[in-house]
Structure formats: C-alpha cells, structure tokens
Amino acid sequence: MAMHWQQPLPAIYRELTDPELRFRITEAKAALGDELVILGHHYQQDEVIEFADYQGDSFELSQHAAALTKAKYVVFCGVHFMAETADILTDASVSVILPDMGAGCSMADMANIDQTHEAWEQLLEVCQDQTIVPITYMNSAANIKAFVGENGGAVCTSSNARTVLDWALDRKDEAGDGSASALHPSSLSLPPSRKILFFPDQHLGRNTAAAMGYDVDRDMVVWDPRKDLGGNDEAKLRDSTFVLWKGHCSVHALFRPEHVDQVREKYPDVKVLVHPECTKAVVDKADMAGSTAYIVKQVREAAPGTIWSIGTEVHLINRLKNDHPDQTIMVLSDCQCLCTTMSRIDLPHLCYVLEELVAGNVVNQVSVDPQTRKWATVALDRMLQLKGTGNPLGKNQPVGTTID
C-alpha cells in the first residue's frame, strides 16, 4: 500500500507573489541540478508546466520515469496514481514527490482493493470454466495494478488499450479492424472461453471493445461494486466478454452528444476530437478519438485554418490554442472541464517541496511498498512491452494490433 503523508504547506508560501515563487523555484532547480527531474502532465496548469523537464500524458511520463538514470528526486506534477507509477518504475534510490498529496484522481478512487477482491471471488465462482484476465487502466491505484499483475493481467493506457485487450483475449491473429466480430463465440451462442475484467473506466473499456467489433449489449456488462454480482445475473456474466468496472472520469463525463451536434451546426467544417474516456455516445459522434498524446499530435500536424472542437481537459486545450494560433481550437462544451485535483499542484506547493529538497528534506514522498511494487511492476512491464498507437478506437485511422 502507498503511504500518503501530507506535510502542511507552510503559510509563508501563500504569502509569496508569483514572481517571487518563480524566482525561488528557478533557484532551487539550479541548486538541485541533475539530481532533480520535474515531470508535468498535459492537464497541469501553465505556470507549473513552465518548470517541467518533461511534459506528456501518463504513458509518456511513465516511460520517462523508467528511463531515468541520474535523478535522485522526481517531482511529479500530476496526480497520485502517476506518482505511484513513477515510484514503481524508478530505482529504489529515487524519491518520488507529489507537491500536494491531495492531488488524487476521482476515477482511480472508484476502484478500491477490497471491492476488487470481492468482485474477483464472485466472478471466479460464476465463471469457473472461463479464463478471466484483469486489465486496469493506468489511472488506478498501485494496489489495483498489483492485483492485476498477480492474476495474469496487465495495465493499459488510452494509447495502447486496444493492443492490451487483444493480447488479453489472445486475438493476435485477428484483423483488428472490427471484422473479428464474426468470430466472437457469443455470435455462435457460445460463452467466451476468455473474458476481461476491466478497471476502472467503463468508457475506455466500452469504447475500445466496441472498436474491436464487440457488441455493447451482447458482449459487455457493467460491474457495480456496490451490488451483488455487480448488479448482473449469472447467465449474463458468463456470456459477456467484457466486465466493465463502474468508474468514470468526472472531467470527460461532462461532454455530451448534444455538444457535438451544437458545434457542428455552428461550424460545419469542424473536426471533433475527443478522448476515449468520454462516453460512447460522444465518441460515436466525434470524427476522431484517441489518447492525450494522440490529440496533441493531430493538432500539431493539422493544416493552418483547421477548426477543432476538443473533448478533453481544458488546460491542455488552452495550451494547444496558444501554441497553434493559426488554427481555431475550442472546448467541446461550455462548462469548465477542469481536473480540479490536478490543479492542486500550484507554484506554492512546487516551491515548498523543492526548497525542502535543497535543505535535505524529502517531503510529500509517494512510496509504494515492496510487495505491491513487485506485482505492479509485472503488470506495468507487460504494458510497456505492448505497442500502442495512441488511437485505440481506430476512428479516422484504422490501426494494426502488432504485439511484440
């Protein structure tokens, strides 16, 4: 289990002006030199991203963390599960610091380990002659990743979800273009021999499985951890290939299909680009769907004059807007689609943890215990071995599913 020791922010840091904080952060970074690496998630606010040595989505940042050789300290400007992952992937001598330990993820919090054990026991009981492979999205606690690793599964990201699901279902010979649907055992009235328990984002699971050719009603059920058998009957559980944990991202759930209709009416040439954490109804209406890295790439490579309406976190969209003034970029909603927990990482917290490091004190360290680390590493290693495309839904650009 990860430790969550939050040091209260000394009042002095709230009294400093932004220029003072910037100056002190710059000084602390210089004093720490190569011993320090600051990782910044795409959804982080600009004033913090300014100090990041690497910026990316959780998959890219986990790869940076895994490749670090010189750093003694990793300051992770993201949310708690990302810092846990960095701690798992880095050498034991590296301290991983989350500037504000209150920066959690509402989606990750929707699956806890006790509920997971209970669900697993019930599924094993009901599906005795079927192989169940647990797969967790990167956005989950370290102990869920460890559970998955210990039980033959893997972690996935929004970049490689489709590849990981293909691997888990042993579908490597199938086309990956949706044509596999005809081969589904359920279409032959047979229960599947392999099934997936997918944590914690039902939308990424549903969108990816649908893109692989599976039918939402026939092949998928939602597992509500507050209900016996997740709220399902035994026959339906046995017949389903995907058991989708009832979790979601509170940011991406704000986008609705009518937002797509409205923007298309106003801008007939608009390209609607969304993250696969959005509901299937939104993804179905969008032109393109893919991971955060995929979204960044589409905008970066687009022609001047392109009009985008994007369904993801607002800090990233505003940054894209600033970086690409030759394009029209807007949020696919009029609401503030803000990851409030990630926004807890601000200049005062960043300045505080860095100055403590300069003084020789490690504060707000995220540390995963050895047993959890061992099995979570197994699940993460499987993920890192599976190539992703950033576009797990195959929308707009059909993708292959090569596994090496």
Binding site for ligand SF4 (CB under 6 A): 43, 79, 105-107, 139, 249-251, 313, 339, 341-342
Nearer to ligand SF4, 57 or 219 (CB): 57
10 Å CB burial of residue 290 (0-12, 13-18, 19+) is buried
* Minimum distance of ligand SF4 from residue 195's CB (angstroms): 25
> Which residue's entry shows tokens 């909603």?
333
CB of 277 to ligand SF4, least distance (A): 6
Which one, 43 or 59, has the nearer CB to ligand SF4? 43
Residue reference for tokens 């993460």: 380
Minimum CB separation from ligand SF4 for residue 309, in Å? 18
Q: Closer to ligand SF4 by CB, 107 or 286: give it.
A: 107
Residue nearer to ligand SF4 on the CB measure, 123 or 249: 249
CB of 77 to ligand SF4, least distance (A): 12
Query: Do the beta carbons of residue 385 and residue 404 sit within 8 Å?
Result: yes
Q: Which is nearer to ligand SF4, 307 or 338 (CB)?
A: 338
- Joined together, the tokens standing for residue 221 give 């059920």
Minimum Å distance from CB 341 to ligand SF4? Answer: 6
Torsion 178-176-162-151 (CA) sign:
positive
Q: Which is nearer to ligand SF4, 142 or 169 (CB)?
A: 142
Least Å distance, CB 27 to ligand SF4, is 30
Query: What whole-number distance in Å separates Cα of residue 177 and Cα of residue 384?
Result: 23
Query: In whole angstroms, what is the distance from residue 30 CA to residue 35 CA?
Result: 10
**Cα(332)–Cα(255) distance, rounded to whole angstroms?**
7
Length of the chain as a residue count: 404
- The CA distance from 85 to 380, in Å, is 9
Residue whose CB is less far from ligand SF4, 26 or 106 = 106
CB count, 10 Å around CB of 384? 17
Name the amino acid, one letter, at 61: L
CB of 354 to ligand SF4, least distance (A): 23
State how far the alpha carbon of 1 is from the alpha carbons of 86, 88, 108, 127, 207, in Å: 15, 12, 14, 29, 31
Neighbouring residues of 391: CB distance < 8 A, sequence distance ≥ 6: 288, 289, 290, 291, 294, 397, 399
Which is closer to ligand SF4, CB of 25 or CB of 249? 249
Of the pair 74, 138, the CB lying nearest ligand SF4 is at 138
Surface-to-core class of residue 69, CB atoms within 10 Å of its CB (0-12 exposed, 13-18 middle, 19+ buried): exposed
CB of 251 to ligand SF4, least distance (A): 4
CB of 400 to ligand SF4, least distance (A): 27
Cα–Cα distance, 36 to 57 (Å, whole number): 20
Question: What is the smallest separation between the CB atom of 340 and ligand SF4, expressed in angstroms?
Answer: 8
Rounded-to-integer distance, Cα 167 and Cα 17, Å: 51
Residue 73 or 81 with smaller CB distance to ligand SF4: 81
Task: Identify whether the C-beta of residue 111 lies closer than 8 Å to the C-beta of residue 245.
Answer: yes
- Smallest CA-to-CA distance from 250 within 375, 343, 124, 163 is with 343
